Chains A and B, each alone.
Chain A
Amino acid sequence: MSELSRPYGGYAGRILRVDLSSGRVSTQDLPRDWARLFIGGSGLAARILWEEVGPGTDPLGPDNRLIVATGPVTGTAWHTSGRSVMVSKSPLTGIWAESHFGGHFGPELKYAGFDALVVSGRSPRPVYLWVHDGTAEIRDASDMWGMDTYETTAAVRDDVGYPAAKVLSIGPAGENLVKYAAVITNSHDAAGRTGMGAVMGSKKLKAVAVRGFGSVRVADPDRFYELALEARDRVLGSDQAMELRRYGTAMLVEVKQAIGELPTYNHRSGVFEGFETIGSHHIRKNYWVATKACFACSLACKKKNLVRGGEFRGLFSGGPEYEGLYAFGSNCGVDYFPAVLKMNWLCNRYGIDVISAGVSMSFLMELRERGIIGEDLLGGVDLRWGNHEAMIEALELIARREGVGDLLAEGVREMARRIGGEAERYAMHVKGLEISGQDGRTHRSAGLTHAVAARGADHMRGLVTVDQLAYRDVAAERFGEDKADRVVDGYSEDYKALAVKMHEDAYAVRDSLIVCWYSVGWPPLFWVDDFSRVLSAVTGEESWSDVGEVWLAGERIVNLKRAFNVREGITRRDDTLPERFTREPMPEGPGRGQVVDLERMLDEYYELRGWDLETGFPTRERLEELGLSDVAEELAGAGKLARGGGGS
């Protein structure tokens, strides 16, 4: 591997390209200006997707791309530098798709000599990809087709003869093009959202295995190592981080119950009477066995649990995260933890997104309760609140796309379209992506985040925690003393547009470095000034030591994803929320009576973004300021660029 190809410190310097239609494997040098403008990870992948996946591309066709990207920090010793991202056009939503995952795959890809992998085309027969030491082979996977992700991982490792190979794989759900099929690595780590597993399935790509003996070299190793040590100490010195290590993300069950934001019965309510037995204290006391971490993480939020008695005796599995506990637990009225663990485990084995699967089931439960669908539609699967046996049965059917599983596999937007009538009112999604475990009624900024995030109802790209969890000090630091009290009021729309925009820009940088949500979003230990120091020490590019430049990069990446969606036809009309959040007051709990005034927050948000108030299109001026002139040009050509310098 030549040193010359590395644009800056931290990067491997190459992109691996695999075309499954022709069987061609090639490499491309990482362009220096892409690294400077888009950093890496999600930003770099946005640039590639923008250039290569034009409007109207069939997400499940050969022209779609599947990108696995790392960032300049990936594979170093900086806290949480083991994360990576999958990017594509989503078969579930038809727009921008990104799904981040932990474990050890990303660092290994860097050690193998690549910052990113871009897969195009479609193989005529099942294959897997064996990436090692600067090259890759496409290998036959006919014997593996039909296997679950655990079996596939073992089979692939066996086939390459290297037991420590890091493997990404799909299960039957991905093969059967379940619209929200997930990609699994490291047994329990998932690129869960937006159907990346179905994109792999459509390409007949069963797995990707990687091994690398190379190094990641940073520009200023001594300064960088100092920063890494300091980051570690900051994490170990934080009580909240250590609480998260003890209880995992499951602790959000109790936190959110207390503030009335634990989605319950298909997001109807924000409090669940059975929360205690799916909460972290109960889990820790009765099921916890071990605590695990992704590569280079000092926090270690991952839990392994064992069921010691009852119906699921002997079940040993990682997870579930908070989102699984809400999606299969409170949101479906299930208060029996072992059942939630079982469903989470099935999703890992079959390769299914936990959130979309849970919300698709809670949708049918509500429709049935309201008499909008008849028993015939369920085909004998007794989906009703709290019936975990029926849910387990439904998951099996989803993975195989049989019976009612074939309908459930489409996700709630398409299900509502097929069912018709009043169904859409209860379909909890934005832009086709099922809503994650927040509720804008008791956490206003979450409402705006769900409405505007590039991949649909997303909590990872802009979720503000300073209001949700009342970090007044942090709010004062970020927004000023005068605004802090209004910012931390979760029931008020005040300053939420400002907060969401700021957090989206910061998180876009986080997702491009790539580092983890935990310890950036929550607890709020690292922020953009930290990213600035880390980026300049890793890359050696001096301009990154200017925090303003880093903020600008974040804004650039957010705008590029927006441009991708606008080119696909997204407008302000799609930046919306289910009626439940804007018209149906929260029925009970601490937030009783609350609704979201979305339009007000949206106006303010577009204004701050410099997007057109009426259409939600970006403006030429703003795109040019961000160094995206070519993007502006293309949008103008498609009649999708707004005039003027601001939103008004």
Chain B
Amino acid sequence: MPAVDRILVVDPERCTGCRICEAACSYQHYGEFNPRRSYITVLKRESDGLFVPMVCQHCAKPLCVEACPTGALYQYGSAVFLDKSKCIECRQCVNACPFGGVGIDPVTLQVVKCDLCGGDPQCARRCPTGAISYVRADLVGYRRKLEGAERLSRLTSLIVPSGGG
């Protein structure tokens, strides 16, 4: 049986939109602060207060890997990595990914993607609210169930307000 690896889990409900994850990511990879060089992007819709951190999902059936003609993108454990030495900058992967998980660096104009910071993803490490976490894949399902239960009980209390109104 293969070892169960850890995966990045995003919980938009906890996200405050502070973008520390973006700043931390750019620092980790470039030694400077520049959200546009970050591999994680917090999408915002101010009008309805929606904040969703978007990052490579390290899919089990990655379309980027399928699209890549040179094998520069490859799977290892439960993650997807990019081998820059093989990449010909054709950008097929950027187009193929349904999540915007592969991007173009605005400074070098080269293809870039999340590399899980070598096993200690800084976005998860720095996020002040727990909106991003790096957890064992087999525990994610259980955690989701717990969260779902919590959400359900919150909804019920909205329908039957406990006083006031």
Contact = CB atoms under 8 A, between A and B. Distances in A.
Task: Please say whether chains A and B are actual partners in one complex.
Answer: yes
Interface of A: 75-77, 82, 104, 107, 111, 150, 164, 186-187, 212-218, 221, 225, 229, 232, 235-236, 282, 285-286, 289-300, 302, 304, 308-310, 316, 318
A316 B128 contact: no
Interface stretch (B47-55, B80-88, B94-102, B134-142): B47-55
Given A111-B34, A296-B18, A300-B16, A221 B164 contact: no
B107 A213 contact: yes
Given A77-B126, A292-B51, A309 B165 contact: yes
Given A76-B23, A296-B23, 8 more contacts: A75-B33, A187-B46, A187-B47, A232-B126, A285-B164, A295-B19, A296-B19, A300-B16
Contact of A76 (B33, B44, B129): B33
A282 B164 contact: yes
B31 interface: yes
Contacts of A308: 158, 165
Contacts of A187: 46-47
A289 B49 contact: yes
Interface in B106-165: 106-107, 126, 128-129, 158, 161, 164-165
A104 B19 contact: yes
B68 to A, nearest CB: 26
A77 B23 contact: yes
B79 interface: no
Contacts of A221: 27, 31-32
Interface in B10-50: 13, 16-20, 23-24, 26-27, 30-37, 44, 46-49
Contacts of A290: 13, 49
B20 A296 contact: yes
B32 A215 contact: yes
Question: Which 3 A-B pairs rank lowest in CB-CB distance, beginning with the nearest?
Answer: A298-B128, A215-B34, A293-B16
A221 B32 CA distance: 7
Contacts of B31: 217, 221
A298 B18 contact: yes
A548 B116 CA distance: 42
Interface of B: 13, 16-20, 23-24, 26-27, 30-37, 44, 46-49, 51, 106-107, 126, 128-129, 158, 161, 164-165
A186 B51 CA distance: 13
20 contacts: A76-B23, A77-B27, A104-B19, A186-B46, A215-B34, A217-B31, A217-B32, A217-B33, A290-B49, A291-B16, A292-B49, A293-B16, A294-B18, A296-B20, A296-B23, A298-B20, A300-B129, A302-B16, A304-B49, A309-B165
Contacts, number: 95
A436 B110 CA distance: 52
Contacts of A76: 23, 33
A239 to B, nearest CB: 15
A293 B34 contact: no
A87 B135 CA distance: 46
Given A77-B126, A232-B126, A300-B129, A213 B36 contact: yes
Nearest to B106: A213
Contacts of B32: 215-218, 221
Contacts of B16: 291-293, 297, 300, 302
A286 B165 CA distance: 6
Contact of B27 (A107, A225, A309): A225
A294 B13 CA distance: 16
Contacts of A150: 47
Contacts of A213: 34, 36, 106-107
Contacts of A236: 128
Given A215-B32, A290-B49, A295 B18 contact: yes
A406 B64 CA distance: 61
Contacts of B18: 82, 293-298, 300
Between A187, A236, A291, the greatest number of chain B beta carbons within 10 A of the residue's beta carbon is seen for: A291
A215 B37 contact: yes
Contacts of A164: 44
Contacts of B17: 292-293
Given A214-B34, A229-B126, A298-B18, A316 B48 contact: yes
A293 B18 CA distance: 5
Contacts of A295: 18-19
B33 A215 contact: yes
Nearest to A211: B36
Contacts of B44: 164
Given A215-B30, A290-B49, A292-B49, A111 B20 contact: no
Between A104, A221, A296, the greatest number of chain B beta carbons within 10 A of the residue's beta carbon is seen for: A296
A377 B110 CA distance: 67
Nearest to B164: A286
A298 B15 CA distance: 11
Nearest to A303: B49
Contacts of B126: 77, 229, 232
Nearest to B34: A215
Between B16, B36, B129, the greatest number of chain A beta carbons within 10 A of the residue's beta carbon is seen for: B16
Contacts of B30: 215
Contacts of A232: 20, 126, 128
Contacts of B19: 104, 295-296
Contacts of A82: 18
B21 to A, nearest CB: 10
Contacts of A75: 33
A187 B49 CA distance: 10
Contact of B24 (A77, A316, A318): A77
Contacts of B20: 77, 232, 296-298
Nearest to B105: A213
A11 B18 CA distance: 21
A294 B20 CA distance: 10
Contact of B33 (A216, A285, A291, A318): A216
Nearest to A74: B33
B48 A286 contact: no
A213 B33 CA distance: 11
Nearest to A295: B19
B44 to A, nearest CB: 8
Contacts of A292: 16-17, 49, 51
Contacts of A309: 165
A73 B108 CA distance: 25
A293 B44 CA distance: 12
